[in-house]
Amino acid sequence: MEDMKRNEAYNKYVSAKIPKTRPWPSLFNSFWVGGVICLIGQGINDIYLLIFPNLSQQTGWSLTLITLIFIAAFLTGIGVYDQIGKFAGGGSIVPITGFSNSITSPSIEFKSEGIIYGICVKMFTIAGPVIVFGVASSMVVGLIYWIISLF
Partner 1 sequence: MQIFLDYLWVFLIGGLVCAIGELLIITTNITSARILVTFVLVGVFLEAVGLFDYISDFAKAGINVPIVGFGASLAKGAIGAVKTHGFLGIFTGGLTATAGGIAAAIGFAFLFALIFKSHTKK
- Least gap, CB of 20 to partner 1 (angstroms): 10
Binders of partner 1 in range 25-44 (CB under 8 A): 26-27, 30-39, 41-42
Member of 49, 69, 87, 121 binding partner 1 (CB under 8 A): 69
Residue 113 Cβ vs partner 1, minimum distance, rounded to whole Å: 11
Give me the amino acid identity at 142. Answer: G
Rounded Cα–Cα distance for residues 92 and 61 (Å):
19
Instruction: Please state, in angstroms and rounded to a whole number, the distance separating the CA atoms of residues 32 and 84.
Output: 12
Chain length of the chain: 151
84 binds partner 1 (CB under 8 A): no
Q: Give Cα 7 distance to the centre of its chain.
A: 34
Task: Please give the distance of CA 37 from its chain centroid, rounded to a whole number.
Answer: 12
**Alpha-carbon distance 119 to 110, whole Å?**
6
Site residues for partner 1, 39-68, by CB under 8 A, read 39, 41-42, 45, 58, 61-66, 68
Residue with smaller CB distance to partner 1, 6 or 28:
28
108 binds partner 1 (CB under 8 A): yes
